[in-house]
Amino acid sequence: MLLYYTREKVLEVLKGAFPEQYIKYSKFFIIFSYKEVNKNSSYFFEKKRLIVNSLSRRPEDIFISILVALGEHIDIINREETHKDKEYYLIVKKLLTEAVNANVIQKEDLQKYSDRKFKKGIQECFSSFANWKFENRNDPPEFMYIYVTESYMIRNILRASGYIYDSEQGLWMKKIHRYEYPEEEYFINERKNEAVFKVIGDNSFYIRPVYRLKLVTYSATSAPLLKALDYQYLKDKNCWMKLIEARNLEQEKKNIENVPRQSLNVLSNSK
């Protein structure tokens, strides 16, 4: 669900920015990498793969980095190579402008984007983000998304009500037509004390990636602390495991910084 939803949003922006070349440009794959590294995203033309790193970032930041990699994909299709020049930045500018116009991201997100080198390069070519022209479209989208967390006790009810569990986000979600929301709102109000519901009714990009932490330590005295932090001990694998929101990774590292350990690995929770 995570990749499907993300690809849908990216294709929406691509189609708006390049309607005539949409079919030609739309042949690519998005891959989420469960690595926290300095490079936000990269593109491998041979396999048409857009690799997205560091999922602890804001959803808007992640989306921008996908468009940056998509710009390389388009650039190589157009001229069989890509360079960080005005031609490349023009492609990405069209994608970013469409993303803002369609309210997938906001113009403030451009200035907040974490890749300073990219921001410097594109603004040197096309002036500061503050001077870019946008034409926000306020038409409500056809679909709405509902996300449910802290919902273990009603998981069977959610499943029976058409919600799908997304292991990569550690939550239940449902995509509905806007006209269906009044009926769904009744269901949410009935269950709001049993789980946490988040409704996305606008066109903004929202994801909640999770990491599965694998902690190996031979410190028996750390067990009470790890249990208090909701780690589970897997005897057959001789390790402690915990599912966290990716955005909480740095805080989680601080929580266990005094635990003697041999290794801490960040893994995908996909099944």
Q: Across residues 177-182, what is the average pLDDT?
A: 96
Q: Would you state the pLDDT for residue 203?
A: 94
Instruction: Give the span between the Cα atoms of 34 and 87, in whole angstroms.
Output: 31
Digit-coded pLDDT (tens) for 39-60: 999 999 989 999 999 999 999 9
Q: Where are the alpha helices (DSSP H) in 192-264?
A: 223-228, 249-255
Closest CA to 95 of 195, 176, 173, 21: 21
CATH number for region 2-131: 3.30.2010.10
Q: Would you state the pLDDT for residue 220?
A: 87
Q: Where are the alpha helices (DSSP H) in the chain?
A: 2-17, 22-25, 59-79, 86-101, 107-112, 116-126, 155-160, 181-191, 223-228, 249-255
Q: Would you state the pLDDT for residue 146?
A: 98
Residue 139 has phi, psi (to 5 degrees) of -65, 130
Instruction: Give the span between the Cα atoms of 269 and 271, in whole angstroms.
Output: 7
pTM of the predicted model, to two decimals?
Answer: 0.93
Digit-coded pLDDT (tens) for 80-137: 999 999 999 999 999 999 999 999 999 999 999 999 999 999 999 999 999 999 998 8
Pull the structure tokens for residue 149: 């967390």
Q: Would you state the pLDDT for residue 271?
A: 59
Instruction: Give the span between the Cα atoms of 123 and 135, in whole angstroms.
Output: 19
Pull the structure tokens for residue 23: 């079919």
Average pLDDT along the chain: 95
